[in-house]
Chains A and B, each alone.
Chain A
Amino acid sequence: MSSNTSRRRWPLLLPPLLWQLTFFLLPLLFLFVISFWSVVNFRLEPDMTLKNWDFMLSRSSFWSAYGHTWALALGAAVVTTCCSFPAACSLAFTVSERTRKLALMFLVVPFFTSYLVRVYSWQAFLSDNGIVNALLSLVGLDGLPMLNSDFGSLVGYVTLALPLVTLVQTMGLAQIDRNLIEAAHNLRAGPVRTLFEVIMPLAKPSLVVGALFAFILAFGDFVAPTYLGGGAPPTLSNLIIDTTKSGQQWPRAAVVAIVMILTLVVTSLAAVRLAYGRRK
């Protein structure tokens, strides 16, 4: 029987496995390999050198880009989580099943629009003579510089992550047993206490996972920091693009990519541990 199922398994298992091994895992491993190669006359030459690592990691500009990217991604995670939580609560607890489904459908709509187009559209809102400043001047307020700043980048990150984070949070919150909330109410816990001591601990996995998604999306995004954040100071993804496209220095870009992957792996493991690890 077992040899029978294993014989049946291979024709279905092999195609996707081989595909993802050949075209997903190997390219990522290859990045690690070429980080030790050198560039001779604009051509990649197999080598075994640490000079790319040394070149990137010894520069203060690399580390300031690293710090900037990390801070922006963390900011995006916090802002997106906080912005979406009230909406997710509202959708999970105070509307009918039907309305919730409709709302979740609307959250999927951005999936069908180009992120590039949405970022371009935000430029029209945030620029100095843009829509937001026009509205501000209508009520007699001075215009604010918003484009080409970290604020601009954050708007882009939130645009990217908010629908997904709201979906994750709403689904997490909707799964909470209503009896527990009723019980808290019967035991005379006020709404604030119920929120912090019953709902949030129960929804912790979805809150943390949502924040992690926002972090990952923001950490790797190059569109918002370039076209809303002004590109300076650069983020790590800007650094990869500049190093690859204008410098032809693929090995150095590979170093940046590996540092990014390691950061994301460590962050994800920490987040998963925070979300699920300490649950009794």
Chain B
Amino acid sequence: MMLRLGRWFGWAYTGYTFLFILAPIAASLVFSFNADRFPSLPLKGFTMEWYGGTFTDPLVIEAFQRSVMVSIPVALLSTILGFCAAYCDFRFDFRGKSLFSLLMLLPPTIPSVIMGLGMLSYLSRMSLAGEVWAVLISHVVIALPFAMAMIRLRLAQMDSALEEASWNLRASPAQTLWHVVLPFCKQSLVAAFLITAAVSFDEFAVAWFVSGLNETVPVRVLVFLQGQVSPVINAIGTAVFTSSILLVAVGMAFSGMGKAKRAAADTPAQPPCGVLVSNNGLSL
């Protein structure tokens, strides 16, 4: 009886925890359609005004374009570099390997204000601060560890005999990498691409320091936040959230298709969410 009571209490408590986590997200969704300028109860009625205001604001449109233009190359570069780093960690033994992995995985633990200041002062000596390039470079530094961790987890599931078999069949190491290892990691590569794109699309602090006048979406949101009360923030937040979730759903569907195809080959396919979840534990 006691135990069952405790169990119910635990579930109720867990429910409240999720409520706490999801409440601000839900509230921003609701208030993005609320006619009142000020986010308060009771609600005043339905409006699309804030969305209209958002998507006709030239500054916001520019910021959206810039964010997309930054996040795609960032995702591509960090996934490639992350794969290289993960494969080195998986395949090779060398002196200073743990130092190498530490250097690769450390950036997300450095407070972004410090990264921002470091990047600003360093890149301004290279005359890059205030350019879109500066945002791109910093975001690859921050996103690479996420890609590396996700791909490394996938590699850990690979039977090393797979590569040896390929070498025995006279495939060169490069051919093995291309025809055996990369296909094995395909899902995690897609997942890494999506996550690193999301990391870049969401990063505001370093971008705020180094971007100068080239605002990305979250930097624009930060500027709105510094101003007065602005329901536009809720509209942007909801739009970005919806598109991120859609992207992830597409990614999951994509890797789900791969799973069905490979089921016969008896590959332990991993859903991208599993990758995400374990990634959060490992990367930081």
Query: What is A's interface to B at a CB cutoff of 8 Å?
Result: 5-6, 8-9, 12-13, 15-17, 19-21, 23-28, 30-31, 34, 44, 83-84, 86-87, 89-91, 94-95, 101, 103-125, 127, 129-131, 134, 158-159, 162-164, 166-168, 171, 191, 213, 216, 219-222, 227, 237, 240-241, 244, 250, 253-254, 257, 260-261, 264, 268
18 sampled A-B residue pairs with Cβ under 8 A: A12-B84, A16-B85, A28-B114, A86-B10, A89-B10, A90-B13, A107-B277, A108-B276, A111-B276, A114-B218, A116-B204, A116-B221, A130-B40, A171-B281, A220-B113, A253-B117, A254-B121, A261-B110
What are the 6 closest A-B residue pairs judged by CB atoms, nearest first?
A220-B111, A117-B237, A90-B10, A124-B39, A121-B24, A27-B118
With beta carbons under 8 angstroms apart, the residue of B92, B100, B198 that contacts A111 is: B198
Q: Is B138 a contact of A23 with CB atoms below 8 Å?
A: yes
| Chain B residue nearest in CB terms to A268 | B109
**Please, how many angstroms separate the alpha-carbon atoms of A172 and B27 in the complex?**
32
B107 located at the interface, meaning its Cβ lies under 8 Å from any Cβ of chain A in the complex: yes
Q: A121 with B141: in contact, given A15-B84, A166-B17, A261-B110 (CB under 8 Å)?
A: no
Please, which residues of chain B bring their CB within 8 A of the CB of A91? 14
Contact check: which of B13, B17, B114, B218 meets A257 at CB < 8 Å?
A: B114
B28 within 8 A of A: yes
Indicate whether B269 reaches chain A with its CB closer than 8 angstroms.
no
- 8 Å CB contact of A121 from B2, B7, B27, B276: B27
Q: Is the CB of B10 within 8 A of A94?
A: yes
Tell me if B130 is interfacial: C-beta within 8 Å of chain A: no
Question: Given the complex of chains A and B, what is the CA–CA distance between A111 and B284 in angstroms?
Answer: 14
Q: How large is the interface on B (under 10, 10 to 19, 20 to 34, 35 or more residues)?
A: 35 or more
A24 touches B202 (CB 8 A): no
The answer to whether B2 and A191 touch across the interface, beta carbons within 8 angstroms, is yes
Do A131 and B40 touch (CB < 8 A)?
yes
Chain A residues contacting B218 (CB-CB under 8 Å) are: 114, 116
Number of A-B residue pairs with CB-CB distance less than 8 Å in the complex they form: 253
Q: Given A117-B233, A191-B3, A191-B6, does the pair A16, B117 have CB atoms closer than 8 Å?
A: no
Residues from chain A with a CB closer than 8 A to the CB of B87 are: 12
With A9-B92, A12-B84, A23-B141 known to touch, is A112 a contact of B281 (CB < 8 Å)?
Answer: no
Q: Cβ of A89: which chain B residues have Cβ within 8 Å of it?
A: 10
- Residue of A with least CB distance to B220: A116
**Cβ contact of A9, chosen from B27, B94, B110, B284, cutoff 8 A:** B94
On chain A, the residues within 8 Å of B112 by CB distance are 220
In the complex, besides A120-B225, A257-B113, 17 extra interface pairs with C-beta distance below 8 angstroms are A15-B84, A23-B141, A112-B241, A117-B236, A118-B237, A120-B221, A120-B234, A121-B237, A134-B40, A163-B21, A164-B280, A164-B284, A222-B113, A240-B117, A257-B114, A257-B117, A260-B111
| Selected contact of B233 from candidates A26, A83, A120, A158, CB within 8 Å | A120
Given contacts A9-B94, A166-B17, contact A125 B23 (CB under 8 A): yes
* Chain B residues in 8 Å Cβ range of A26: 122
Per-residue contact bits, chain B 174-200, to A (CB 8 Å; 1 contact, 0 not): 000000000000000000000000100
How far does the alpha carbon of A221 sit from the alpha carbon of B204 in the complex, in Å?
12
Chain B residue contacts of A13, Cβ below 8 A: 84, 88, 92, 94, 100
- Specify which chain B residues have a CB less than 8 angstroms from the CB of A113 in the assembled complex: 25, 237, 240-241, 244
Shortest B93–chain A CB gap in Å is 9
A220 vs B108: C-alpha distance when bound (angstroms): 11
B6-46 interface (Cβ within 8 A of A): 6-7, 10-11, 13-14, 17-18, 20-25, 27-28, 31, 39-41
| Contact call B110/A222, Cβ cutoff below 8 A | no
On chain A, the residues within 8 Å of B118 by CB distance are 27-28, 30-31, 257
Give per-residue flags for B259-274: 1 if the beta carbon is below 8 A from chain A beta carbons, else 0: 0000000000000011
| B121-A44 in contact (CB<8A) | yes
Contact B104 A162 (CB under 8 A): no
The docked-state distance in angstroms from the alpha carbon of A250 to that of B118 is 9
CA distance A114 to B203 in the complex (A): 8
Interface residue from A127, A159, A220 paired with B114 (Cβ < 8 Å): A220
Contacts of A219 in B (CB 8 A): 111
- The smallest C-beta distance from A195 to any residue of chain B, in angstroms, reads 10
B248 within 8 A of A: yes
